Amino acid sequence: MTQTLTITRMGHQGDGIADTPNGAVFVPGALPGEVVSAVVENGRVESFEIIEASADRRPNFSDAYAECGVAPLQHWADAPYLEWKRDVVLHTLKREGLETEIEATVATPPATRRRIALHARRGPNGRILLGFKARRSWRLVEIRDCPVSDPALVAAFPAMARVADAFLVHPKSAPTLHATLTDTGIDLDVTGVEKRSGGLSADQIAKAIAAAAEGGFARLSLDGDTLVMERQPRITFGRASVPIPAGGFLQASPAAEAAMVERAVAAVKGSKKVADLFCGAGTFTFPLAEVASVMAADSAASSIAALKAGLSTAQGLKGIEAQARDLFRRPLSPYDLKGCDAIVMDPPRAGALEQTQQLPGTKASVVVGVSCNPQTFARDARVLVDAGFTLEKVTPIDQFIWSTHIELVGVFRR
């Protein structure tokens, strides 16, 4: 039966929520203050008609993005959208009993994302389609434009499709093209290609390499293994030019990365030695080394090798030492961190509980936590606060614009 619902608030997963006598009803795509008509099934609405629209509603930037759900909040005006992200961080911290200054969410401009992962499929007419999966479906939604990504990536979509054509010979292959815009061109890593049934023929590999050369890609790799490299993909971190490993991690937006780095460096100024944990290829390491010596660690040996290769390109830095180490299984102990008076951590979504538990025993007076998951950040923050640290402030950063994803930087002082 169709019901009339008034959206009272926005949930943490980006769904509009109507509070009814039968409980909360989740309405994806609806905004606070809107009145909608919809059929409710198990407390959820799949589609609705707007009776009264919010003044904060705006047209979609991309209907295809709306269909696949990768930008579920693109129809929300900037100011309330950014404030909502701040509120999510605020309430997530409160659930752990943490209160602190939450700064305004740092916005990221559209058309600046330097990484994109596109699924490739062959259409009914044989044409190669690139896109994302539709919401709750295996159906591919073709993407021909992307208001989030750097125009240089968008311009390369046709060339990416020609590369993908060579990897679609086996019916079980479902290639995903991971494209990264670097200082020296686009780095393209392909995953999801069927290998257990004989793999690719030499002719198909040659076809892919030729298509990559025609498209001007810096490098083409398959599951991180380089097939051809015309130019070494490089990224600038601080004063260093770092050769990025195939399939290696990189922050999605240079603007968001700069906002994180700026806050981390500002927080540790005055320190003599900084530990940069989960350092990757040196996103924070090199900027930190402009103000203090740095001990860097990460589980990815290829990232550590890239960081070390970048050392020779940077002048005027304090000392940097780097090691490959699994910080989940073998977290650095207070003894290992001896001499470090500041610590910066940028762990994956799972957080860094095992490593965080080691920090109270160190002499570090400041800890900077960079996180892509407010829930695990709050869990780990509780450990530090219980040990006598004060959570000085937290800055939400909207790296993945129009999504429910939230990055943040938190500063702790002993």
Q: Tell me the catalytic residues.
A: 372
User: CA 147, CA 161: separation in Å to the nearest integer?
Assistant: 19
Residue 346, annotated as binding a ligand: yes
Strand intervals (E) in 101-175: 101-102, 115-122, 128-133, 140-142
Which residues 6+ apart lie within 8 Å of 324 measured at CB?
A: 297, 298, 299, 300, 301, 304
User: CA 245, CA 102: separation in Å to the nearest integer?
Assistant: 35
What are the tokens at 162? Answer: 């020609």
77 within 8 A of 58, measured Cβ to Cβ: yes
HSE-CB for 174 with a 13 A CA cutoff = 8
User: CA 218, CA 118: separation in Å to the nearest integer?
Assistant: 18
Residue 278, annotated as binding a ligand: yes
15 within 8 A of 31, measured Cβ to Cβ: no
Reduced to 3 states, what is the DSSP secondary structure of residue 385? helix
Residue linked to tokens 């990189």: 250
Residue 251, annotated as binding a ligand: yes
User: CA 36, CA 50: separation in Å to the nearest integer?
Assistant: 4
Binding site members: 251, 278, 298, 346
Binding site members for S-adenosyl-L-methionine: 251, 278, 298, 346
